[in-house]
Amino acid sequence: MHPLAVPLVAYQILAAILFTIGVVGVLVRRSALIIFMSIELMLNAVNLSLVAFSRLHGSMDGHIFVFFVMAVAAAEVAIGLAILVAIFRKKETANVDDVHLLKG
C-alpha cells in the first residue's frame, strides 16, 4: 500500500471549503473583477480535488485533466478580461449591477 500520509478526506474537505468560498464570492460581490477571481478560486479547488484523487488511484489522468483546466482557465481569463475592458471603457464602472442594458 502506498497510502497518503494525510488522508484523502482532508484534501476533499479543503477543496470543498475553497470551492464554497469561491461561490460566496461570485454571489455576494458586485465588482466584476472580484467575481472573476472567485471563479478562479473555484477552478483551483477543483484542481486540488483532481490531483488528490489522481494520487489516490496512481493514475496520471487526473494530472492531464488539471493541465487542460489550467489551459482553459487561461483562455477564459484572457477573453473575460477583454470583455471587461470593453465594458469598462463604455460605462466607466465594473459593477455588475450597473450593466443591465438588456433589462426589459
Partner 1 sequence: MALELILFSFFALIAILCALGVVFHRNPVHCALLLVGVLLSLSGLFILLNAQFIAALQVIVYAGAIMVLFLFVLMLLNFRGESSVLSPGAAKGFGFLFSLLVMVELLWTALSPNGGEGGGMPPVAALPADFGSPAAIGRILYTTWLYPFEITSILLLVAVIGAVVLAKRKFA
CB of 104 to partner 1, least distance (A): 19
CB of 96 to partner 1, least distance (A): 9
Nearer to partner 1 among residue 23 and residue 99 (C-beta): 23
CB of 90 to partner 1, least distance (A): 11
- Write the CA distances from 103 to 26, 56, 97, 99, integer angstroms: 21, 48, 11, 9
Nearer to partner 1 among residue 58 and residue 104 (C-beta): 58
- Write the CA distances from 69 to 4, 62, 88, integer angstroms: 24, 10, 27
In the numeric block, the cell 471603457 is attached to 89
